[in-house]
């Protein structure tokens, strides 16, 4: 695996930019794979947070470790940290906890990711 790659489930992705990962997520969503789409949307956010100096691209970090790095960076205002915590909880509930993902929930997660990205 090269330095710009990260493993997500059974997939190895080249992470050249959050925009590229966002496109992959949209493709997974359109292809009827909502869990993969949510994972990719979250990875796009991590790429943008890493670009902003809030965390780093590191496949060994959990979503909560990314949160802790973002908090420690001092680069996110409290409201954005709260929204990141909400996204982490959603991710945990649906990707690890097995809660069913509706199309509306995936669309809202995507909107929330893009909303958090703005202003980074």
Q: Name the residue ranges covered by the structural domains of the chain.
A: 5-117
- Take residue 16 and report the two structure tokens written for it: 């050249």
Rg (alpha carbons) of the chain, rounded to whole number: 13
Q: How confident is the model at residue 14 (pLDDT cuts 50, 70, 90)?
A: low
Which residues have C-beta within 8 Å of that of residue 25, sequence separation ≥ 6?
36, 37, 38, 39, 40, 41, 43, 44, 110
Average pLDDT over residues 51-64: 92
The CATH number fitting domain 5-117, selected from 1.20.120, 3.30.390, 2.40.30, 1.20.140: 1.20.120
64-119 residue pLDDT tens: 999 999 999 999 999 999 999 999 999 999 989 989 999 999 999 999 999 999 97
Q: State pTM to two decimals.
A: 0.86
**Cα–Cα nearest to 83, from 49, 57, 56, 58:** 49
pLDDT at position 15: 56
């Amino acid at each position: 695996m090269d330095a710009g790659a990260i493993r997500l489930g059974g997939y190895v992705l080249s992470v050249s930019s959050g925009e590229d990962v966002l496109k992959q997520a949209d493709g997974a969503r359109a292809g009827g794979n909502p869990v993969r789409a949510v994972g990719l949307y979250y990875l796009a956010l991590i790429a943008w947070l890493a670009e902003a100096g809030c965390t780093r691209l590191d496949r060994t970090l959990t979503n909560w470790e990314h949160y802790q790095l973002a908090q420690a960076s001092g680069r996110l205002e409290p409201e954005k940290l709260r929204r990141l915590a909400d996204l982490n909880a959603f991710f945990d509930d649906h990707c690890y906890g097995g809660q069913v993902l509706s199309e509306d929930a995936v669309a809202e997660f995507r909107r929330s990711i893009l909303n958090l990205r703005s202003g980074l």
